[in-house]
Structure 1
Amino acid sequence: MSAEATRGNIWWRWVLVAVIVAVAAVVALWPQLTRTDDKSTATGSTTAPAEPAVAEADRAAAALASCPQPTGAAVGDTPLRGITLDCLADGKPVDLVTALAGKPALINLWAYWCGPCAEELPLLQQFSQQAGTALTVLTVHSDPGTGKALSRLSGLGIHLPGVVDPNSKVRAAVGAPAVLPISVLLRADGTVAKVVVRPFRSVEDISDTVAAELGVRA
């Protein structure tokens, strides 16, 4: 073999060694590079922005009734046990079952963007006025937009007590489909009597349904 050929073989061997070293370096650093990418993704634009704080003036302008408070009444075996939601009127936490226990209740799941909900809410307010203290009607805004909920209620002239459920905990707990509006009828001990997956069409419709399921005629 000539000297020139020998030098050529040696050159190619050094090239091969350099490639092997480079590949080994990339393999060694890959886990660290991957962790860095994962961290930047976790702290980057994939995180949803927090909802803007709701001004107390907006809550006051809505003039909503105060949320019910716990009375110490017995609570039965209900899927709603342990669910705490913020009151629309003042932003304070409300333990749903303990606050409602003691008398039958109708909790209505709605959202500011829901057309049928806007038609149903005035009917629920009329029914609540007829029912008086015999039954509690509580609205549950099933969307993160608390400010938009207050604005919608103000525009509709609705003053029922309400809570905000941004993660749809109530709907998931009762096993209802992802539609709105939904009304959940609760017995006095907080157990679920009926899940109504449709909008009510009249005050009489609400009254008849509540009478049939809860024994309360308004």
Structure 2
Amino acid sequence: MTDTTAHRRIDGRRLLVASHNSGKIRELDFLLGGLKMELVTAGELGLPEPAETGTTFVENARIKALAAATAAGEVALSDDSGLCVEALGGAPGVYTADWAGPDRDWDRAMRLVEEELQKVGATAPGQRKAKFVSLLCLAWPDGHTQEYLGEREGELVWPPRRGGVSYGYDPVFMPDGEDKTFGQMTAEEKHGSIWAAPGPLSHRARSVQRLVEAAFPEGIRP
């Protein structure tokens, strides 16, 4: 979904991550850790969190990336991600974090999803299909943006299953072809690798790989 007619590549040695979400920052740091580039976050620079008033992943990702890029005067990367449940018409979708409330209570969010599934009678595995979406946006201070999409399909289980390093809805999401939820996996099991086999596995790993291949010069790759 990048406009290749006006495509740009990063030419610096520092990248501003436009996020205050510790779980998201941890995953991006893990995935981008092999790059010869300094990562700095919006929180470290004291930048405010903009209101996410968009109704799509692209809109919200652009809002966050452009706000950081404009305020800091440098290239910024944002991630807008969410859980889309087929039986719920794609909800919670762009409102994934809102279902956790202002305190980001992910147990509450998972219960709400399960309650909604029960209401529509989605109790069998085939009725509980879902996918995680990660939409990355690179933004420049002059307003130029580029987007990269990654998705991972699976189904929802109940009750939550934990055991690894996770956040958000990970404990109820079992990706297709696996017998463990994201919440039971290590970071390596959940994401795979953007540099080597088995390749990118999670939604965020897939969007990051597309970002790196399209916008990062070979000189800063491992």
Q: Which has the higher strand share?
A: 2
Q: Which has the higher helix share?
A: 1
TM range (shorter): under 0.3
Q: TM-score, normalised by structure 1?
A: 0.23
Q: TM-score, normalised by structure 2?
A: 0.23
